[in-house]
Amino acid sequence: MENVRNLINITDLTLDEIDHLIEVADDIVANPTDYQDICRHKKLATLFFEPSTRTRLSFEAAMLELGGSVLGFSEAKSSSAAKGESVSDTVRTVGCYADIIAMRHPKEGAPIVAAQKTVVPIINGGDGGHFHPTQTLTDLLTIKRRKGRLNNLVVGLCGDLQFGRTVHSLIEAMLRYENVEFVLISPNELRVPEYIKEKMNEVGVKWTETTSLEEALPKLDILYMTRVQRERFFNQEDYIRLKDSYILDLAKLKLAKEDLSIMHPLPRVNEISVEVDDDPRADYFFQALCGKHVRMALILFLLGIK
Ligand code: CP
């Protein structure tokens, strides 16, 4: 649809636009009353065909804190998808009721299809193993707030790097910043897909692969842990074999820098021991808060509200 901005992939945003969103997110924290009625009479629909806690609820909290309203569903079975309705028809209908739509769907590409069927902005809240751009905005804001920069960083990504859409989006975003090095830590079966490696090679970014978290830890500025995702496996035996490949605990953290930032998109299962939560380097709940601030900024941006 003409003149409508959507967010399907993080590369839909220029670096200047990402900087703008980060600035607005910081201004929202500094001057909350300036924003509390800014979306009055605007409605956000959250169409979640797949489970979510952070993405859906932070979008809803974001719209409510901007003075707007929310509607939607949190599982496919409570929508007419359960009766066989297509994503296209669902989105075309909801576009008659809401000013902006955030959606999550298990099928890769579903938000692209949706964006062709409605005149309201579509935000991809995660499509299968593909992309999760608002998680990436969350991650970039967290890194900027914790490190003061988005360049000159060694970023370790650990866990399920094959199916982890948050990892794919974060790599795509960060390879646009200067002097960022990636250390990819995963079991051999869950390595980053080839197309992501090709993208890193195209821009000449430095990256290495290892199966050892202990070996990688000492050089990292950021450690981005991820869950091995049961829902992406065809074979339960493989999931059980791989699910506890990496468990970050206080003993392992002795190998890390004092100013490491430990991130995780959450939900976590076993990959970060709860004893790590009180370590000053544990940033994953702060990250969840950043998600609300940056989604507020994104809603304003896509609605064209200054
Ligand atoms: N990080 C994230 O996408 O969390 P949810 O699945 O809870 O939305």
Range of the domain at 163: 134-288
If one residue of 53, 127, 271, 295 were mutated to test the ligand 1 pocket, choosing by the most ligand atoms within 8 A of its CB, it would be 53
d(CA 110, CA 89): 12
52 Cβ below 6 A of ligand 1: yes
Cβ neighbours for 19, distance < 8 A, ≥ 6 positions apart? none
Same domain, 180 and 60: no
Cβ neighbours for 244, distance < 8 A, ≥ 6 positions apart? 270, 271
Domain assignment present for residue 2? The answer is no
Same domain, 100 and 205: no
Domain assignment present for residue 1? The answer is no
Domain assignment present for residue 218? The answer is yes
pTM: 0.95
- What's the CA-to-centroid distance between 53 and ligand 1, angstroms? 6
What are the pLDDT digits (tens) for 5-42?
Answer: 999 999 999 999 999 999 999 999 999 999 999 999 99
Q: How many domains does the chain have?
A: 2
Same domain, 236 and 127: no
Same domain, 145 and 282: yes
Same domain, 186 and 237: yes
Phi and psi at 111, nearest 5°, equal -70, -25
If pLDDT is split at 50, 70 and 90, which confidence band does 131 have?
confident
- 1 pLDDT more than 70: no
Cβ neighbours for 249, distance < 8 A, ≥ 6 positions apart? 273, 275, 276
What are the pLDDT digits (tens) for 158-217?
Answer: 999 998 889 999 999 999 999 999 999 999 989 999 999 999 999 999 999 999 999 999
* Per-position b or e across 160-174, b if 16+ CB within 10 A of its CB: bbbbbbbbbbbbbbb
Same domain, 61 and 160: no
Give alpha helix (H) positions in the chain: 15-30, 54-65, 87-94, 110-115, 133-147, 165-174, 194-203, 213-216, 236-242, 250-253, 284-303
Helix 133-147 × helix 15-30 angle, to 10°: 70
Residue 164: what pLDDT? 85
292 Cβ below 6 A of ligand 1: no
Domain assignment present for residue 66? The answer is yes
Residue of 42, 56, 132, 292 marked active site:
132
If pLDDT is split at 50, 70 and 90, which confidence band does 240 have?
confident
The whole-chain average pLDDT of the chain stands at: 95
Same domain, 77 and 180: no
If pLDDT is split at 50, 70 and 90, which confidence band does 43 have?
very high
- Proportion of the chain above pLDDT 70, given as a percent: 98
Same domain, 112 and 138: no
Q: What are the Cα distances from residue 200, in Å, to 76, 185, 205?
A: 36, 16, 5
The residue whose CA is least distant from atom 1 of ligand 1 is 265
If pLDDT is split at 50, 70 and 90, which confidence band does 102 have?
very high
What are the pLDDT digits (tens) for 47-70?
Answer: 999 999 999 999 999 999 999 999
Same domain, 121 and 162: no
d(CA 73, CA 78): 7
- How is residue 255 annotated by DSSP? T
Domain assignment present for residue 222? The answer is yes
- 242 pLDDT more than 80: no
Domain assignment present for residue 14? The answer is yes
Phi and psi at 69, nearest 5°, equal -125, 165
d(CA 98, CA 127): 21
162 Cβ below 6 A of ligand 1: no
What CATH number is given to the structural domain containing 299?
3.40.50.1370
Among 81, 66, 223, which residue's Cα sits nearest to residue 157?
223
Domain assignment present for residue 5? The answer is no
What are the pLDDT digits (tens) for 216-239?
Answer: 999 999 999 998 876 666 678 877
d(CA 223, CA 206): 16
Same domain, 62 and 140: no
Same domain, 261 and 188: yes
Both tokens of 254, joined, read 């002795």
Domain assignment present for residue 3? The answer is no
Same domain, 15 and 149: no
Residue 158: what pLDDT? 97
